[in-house]
Amino acid sequence: MGTVQLVVFERFSSGKAFGDNVVPWARNFVTKFQPQPHTSQSPDFTRLKQVFSQLSASSKMSSELWQNVPLAPPDSIFKLTAAYKADTFDKKVNLGVGAYRDDNDKPWILPVVRKAEEIILNTPALDHEYLPITGLPEFTIAAAKLILGPDSSAIAEGRVTTVQTISGTGANHLGALFLSRFYQWSGDKKEVYLSDPTWANHPAIFNNVGIASLYYPYYDPKTIGLNFDGFVSSLKSAPSGSVFLIHACAHNPTGVDPTRDQWDAIAKIMLDKGHYGFFDCAYQGFASGDLDNDAWAVRFFVDKGVNMLICQSFAKNAGLYGERVGALHVVSPNKEAAERVKSQLSVLQRSEISNPPSYGARIRDISTMAGRIIDMRKELFKILTEELHTPGNWDHIVNQIGMFSFTGITPEQSKALTEKAHIYLTVNGRISMTGLNRNNIRYFATSLDAAVRGTL
Ligand SMILES: Cc1ncc(COP(=O)(O)O)c(C=O)c1O
C-alpha cells in the first residue's frame, strides 16, 4: 500500500478522522489517489472503500445522535467581551467583564506576581509533580489565614478544612456538591437562597448538583441600596437550617454590602434559625482596599459560631484570572468533624479534577509572602519616621527589596536588641523582613528606636 493510503488507513482505523469535515476530505482523497496501476478491485482499494463506507455511516449517526441537544445561548459576559474584541472603533470601552485593566486598557500583572514568577522560574526544585488532592499545603494554609485572619481561633483549633479549587467558581461548585451530598436537608428538597440579584453563575452551579435556587430580596432600586428589611424577613421566614448564599464583600452585581450593624443582625438571625452560611468571597480587598477589612463579615460570622463555608477566589485580587486559583474553606464545629469533612472533600475532588493545578497556587503563595514583606517595610518606615522620629535616615528600609534589610545599626545596638529586647538578629544589623508581622512590628520598631537612642 502506498504511504499516503497508509496514512489514511491509520487515521481512520485509529478513529481520529471521524467527523463531518474529514469525511468529504477522505472522499476526495479516495477519488484522487485511486491507485492507477491497480484496478479498483485491488485488495488495498477495496479495504479503503470499506473503511470509508463505515465512516460515512458513523458520521450520519453522530449528526443524528445530538439532534435533541438545543443550542444554548452564549454566556452574556463573554459574549460582550467577544463583541468588544471584534469592534474596531478606536474609542471602544469594555465595562462588561470584571477584570482589571491599566490606563491603556491592557491586562495588568501585579509587580508582586511578576516577582513570584521570576522566583518560580529560578527555582529548579519547583517541579511539575502532582500536588496533593487537597492542594499545595503552603497555599491552603496561607489562603485560610488571609480570609479567616492570622489569629483565627477556628484555624488554631483545627476546625477549618481547606481545599485548593479551580478559582472561585470551582470553590462554589465543590461547596455546592459537598452540601448536595452531605448537608442535613430537611425533607427531600435541596434548596439554596440566593440574593436577588446575584452573580449569574450561582443558580447554574447549584442546579448542576441538584440544588434548586430560591431568592431573597437584596437590592432596593428605590434607595439604590440594601433591602435590609426584605433580607431579614426572608431569613426569618425560611425554614430552620436553610442554606443562604451570602456575598462576603463587594456584592456582585450591585456593589451594595450590609453595614457592620446589619451584619450583626443577620448573624443573630442565622444563629437563631440554624441557617447555613454559604459565603462567596471573590473580591477580598476590592471593597475597601484592605484585605482584613473586607474579611470582616466572614471573620465575624465564624467567631459567632454560624455554621458556614467560604469560597475564595484569587482571580481578581491577585490578577490571576486565567490561573484558576482559589480555595474552599469549610468551618466545622470541631477538629474531628473537620477531618471527616476533609476526607469526603478529597473523595469529591479526586473524582472531579484529581489534583488542583500547581502554578497559580505557587504564584499566589509566593506573592502573599512578597506582599507582606512590602507591607512590613512600609509600616516599619512609617512608625520610625512619622511616629517615633527615630534619629537617622531610614529611607533604605523602603528602598531595599527582598527578604532581608540592613538596618544600619551598630553591632552594639544589635546586641542590645537581642540581650535586652529578645529580638534576634545578626550582629551586622541585618533583619529578615519575613519575621515581622502586624502583631510584632510595633514592638520591634519601639525597641529599635530605643536601641538607637541608647535607652534600651
Ligand atoms: C460573586 C462571584 N463569585 C465567584 C466568582 C468566580 O470567579 P473565578 O472563578 O474567576 O474565581 C465571581 C467572578 O466573577 C463572582 O463575581
Phi then psi dihedrals of residue 438, to 5 deg: -60, -30
In a shared domain, residues 311 and 341: yes
In a shared domain, residues 57 and 177: no
Mark whether 32 is an active-site residue.
Answer: no
Residue nearest to atom 7 of ligand 1 (CA): 168
In a shared domain, residues 200 and 315: yes
Residue nearest to atom 2 of ligand 1 (CA): 282
For residues 244 and 216, the answer to whether their CB atoms sit within 8 Å is yes
Mark whether 49 is an active-site residue.
Answer: no
Question: Rounded to an integer, what distance in angstroms lies between the CA atom of residue 271 and that of residue 302?
Answer: 11
Q: Distances in Å between the alpha carbon of 92 and those of 74, 102, 107, 265, 328? A: 22, 15, 16, 44, 37
Q: Residue 13: what pLDDT?
A: 40
In a shared domain, residues 258 and 161: yes
Question: Rounded to an integer, what distance in angstroms lies between the CA atom of residue 266 and that of residue 231?
Answer: 9
Mark whether 280 is an active-site residue.
Answer: yes
Q: Tell me if 347 is assigned to some domain.
A: yes
Q: Tell me if 432 is assigned to some domain.
A: yes
User: What's the residue count for the chain?
Assistant: 456
Q: Does 280 sit in the ligand 1 pocket, CB within 6 Å?
A: yes
**Residue 314 CA: which ligand 1 atom is closest?**
11
Kindly report the CATH number assigned to the domain that includes residue 270. 3.40.640.10
Which of the listed residues 326, 356, 386 is the one where a domain comes to its end?
356
Q: Does 227 sit in the ligand 1 pocket, CB within 6 Å?
A: no
In a shared domain, residues 347 and 211: yes
Q: Residue 59: what pLDDT?
A: 58
In a shared domain, residues 140 and 289: yes
Q: Tell me if 116 is assigned to some domain.
A: no
**Residue 315 CA: which ligand 1 atom is closest?**
11
Q: Does 279 sit in the ligand 1 pocket, CB within 6 Å?
A: no
Q: Tell me if 26 is assigned to some domain.
A: yes
**Residue 281 CA: which ligand 1 atom is closest?**
3
Per-residue confidence in pLDDT tens, the chain, 456 aa: 444 443 333 443 444 433 344 444 444 444 444 444 445 556 666 666 676 666 665 555 656 899 999 999 888 878 888 888 899 988 888 777 777 777 777 888 888 888 889 888 888 888 899 999 999 999 999 999 999 999 999 999 999 999 999 999 999 999 999 999 999 998 889 999 999 999 999 999 999 999 999 999 999 989 888 999 999 999 999 999 999 999 999 999 888 999 999 999 999 999 999 999 999 999 998 888 788 999 999 999 999 999 999 999 999 989 899 999 999 999 999 999 999 999 999 999 999 999 999 999 999 888 777 777 778 889 999 999 999 999 999 988 887 766 677 788 999 999 999 999 999 988 888 887 778 888 889 999 999 999 999 999
Q: Tell me if 119 is assigned to some domain.
A: no
Catalytic residue among 115, 199, 257, 449: 199
Q: Which residues of 178-217 are buried (b: 16+ CB within 10 A; e: fewer)?
A: bbbeebeeeeeebbbbbbbebbeebbebbeebebebbebb
In a shared domain, residues 250 and 136: yes
Q: Residue 413: what pLDDT?
A: 94
Find the 282 Cα to ligand 1 centroid distance in Å.
Answer: 5
**Residue 169 CA: which ligand 1 atom is closest?**
9
In a shared domain, residues 48 and 184: no
Q: Tell me if 97 is assigned to some domain.
A: yes
Structural domains in the chain (count): 4
Which of the listed residues 65, 94, 116 is the one where a domain comes to its end?
65
Kindly report the CATH number assigned to the domain that includes residue 421. 3.90.1150.10
Q: Tell me if 426 is assigned to some domain.
A: yes
Phi then psi dihedrals of residue 274, to 5 deg: 65, 30
Question: Under the phi-then-psi rule, with left for phi > 0, alpha for psi from -120 to 50, and beta for the rest, what region is 402?
Answer: left
Q: Residue 267: what pLDDT?
A: 98
In a shared domain, residues 274 and 299: yes
In a shared domain, residues 47 and 156: no
Q: Residue 3: what pLDDT?
A: 40
In a shared domain, residues 312 and 447: no
Catalytic residue among 257, 294, 316, 394: 316
The three-point CA angle 272-277-278 to 5° equals 165
Find the 297 Cα to ligand 1 centroid distance in Å.
Answer: 18
Question: pLDDT of 332-346, one tens digit each?
Answer: 999 999 999 999 999
For residues 313 and 326, the answer to whether their CB atoms sit within 8 Å is yes
Q: Tell me if 252 is assigned to some domain.
A: yes
Q: Does 199 sit in the ligand 1 pocket, CB within 6 Å?
A: yes
- Tell me the best of 172, 201, 278 to mutate to test the pocket of ligand 1, counting ligand atoms within 8 Å of each CB and taking the most: 201
Find the 169 Cα to ligand 1 centroid distance in Å.
Answer: 6
Cis status, amide bond into 74, omega within 30 of 0: no
Residue nearest to atom 10 of ligand 1 (CA): 315
Residue 294: which of 249, 333, 261, 345 has the closest Cα?
Answer: 249
In a shared domain, residues 411 and 332: no
Which of the listed residues 13, 42, 65 is the one where a domain comes to its end?
65
Give the structural domain span for 101.
76-108
**Residue 280 CA: which ligand 1 atom is closest?**
3
DSSP assignment, residue 311?
E
